[in-house]
Structure 1
C-alpha cells in the first residue's frame, strides 16, 4: 500500500487498483485471471512481483470504473463494490462479447448498484467523484499492431479515466497507447500501464510520465500473464531518472 497526499493506494493485481480518499473508495477494473479470488499464479518464465494473496472480498467500493470488455468481470465487481456502489462502465462494454455475463445493467439491477454508462469523451459525477472518460486505443500506425495490421484495442473499444478523489487528480489510461490527448492532462497520480504487448510499454509510459510530470507514478497492469511481462524496476529507474517521483506497489501489506 502506498500513500499519496490524501489518498491510500493499493494495487491488487492486473488492472485492479483500490484508491481510498477521506470519504470515498474507488476501484479500477476489478478482477479477472484469479487476482481477486486467490487463484492467481505467476506465469511460467516471468520473474514477477505481481501481487498475490488470499481471496479478496472487501465490498467497500463506493465507485467502480470499468474501461472495456477485457476488464469487465461481474464477480470482480461484486467482490469490491459496496451495496450502494455506483458503477461507471464504458458504453461499449458488451458482456456477451466478453463472455462474462450478466450485462452491467442486469448486474446493477440484481445487486442494487447505480449504473452510469459513459461515452468515449464524457464528464459525469459518480458517488460524488468527478469522472472524465478519454479514448483508449492502439494507434493503427503505431508499434503495437499485429502482422495483419489489426490491433487488440481499436479506436472506440475502450476508454481511460481521469477522476478527482480527495482533491487529487488521478489518471488511469486503460489499455491504450500514448495518445495526443494525454499531453493536455493535469495529473497528480498516474497509474501507468507498462505491459507493452497490448498497450504502451515501459519506455512509452516513462515518456508519458515525463510529459505529464505528475506528483507520483505507480505502475499497474503488468506480469499477470506472460504476454503482460514488464520490468517494473527498470521502469521505476527510468521514471526517476527523468525527475518524476515513482513507487512500486508489489505486495499485499
Structure 2
C-alpha cells in the first residue's frame, strides 16, 4: 500500500508564487528519485483550535500561511532509497539555499497507509488531518476510518487516505509529536480527504454530517478528537 512522506510548513503569504514555483521546479528531480505523486496544498480554511492547531504546529506567524503537502511512494523501500538520493545529490543543496520559507519549522515524517480508498474524479481541494492514536487502538481506528471513508466517498470525496506513523522523528524546533501533544504509547496519523472542488467539499460535508452512519453508536472513539488538528487546502502543485 502507499507510503507517504508528509509535511506541514509555514510559508510567508507574500511568497506564495515563489513557493509554488520552487515546488514545481523540484517535481522532475523528485520524480527522478522515485516520488510517484507530489502534492503541495495551500491553506484556505485552517481554523484556530482550543488545544492545538496546524498553525501552532509550525509556529505560523500572522503573515504566514500553512501548507499541507505530501509525497507518495509505492512502498517504504522506494521512499528510503529516494531519501538517500536526496541527501547525496548536489542539486538538492542548491535548492535548499533558495527555499522561500523557514525550513527549521517544517514538520516531516514517514507514514504507512492503512486506508487508501479511491473514487472517480480528480482532486481540486483537500482536507488534511494530523491526529494522535493510542497504539493499541490501531485496528479500531482503521475500522472507524474505513467506515467514514465510505461515507465521504458516497457524498463526493474522490479519495481518502489514512497513514500510520512509521518514521516520525523528533525535531529541534517543531515536530508531529508536539503538534498533537502526543503521549507515550500513541502514534501520529497523517491523513487527507480529496474533493473535486471546494464547493463539492462544502456540500459533501453537509451530507456527511447528516448521514446516520456518522452518528455515535455508543462505542468508544479510538482517539482524542480534541487533539486532532486539521484544515482545508487548495492544491497549488500536483504532479
With the shorter chain as reference, the TM-score category is under 0.3
**Structure with larger RCO (C-alpha < 8 A, sep 6+):** 2
Give TM-score, length-normalised by structure 2: 0.26
Greater share of residues in helix: 2
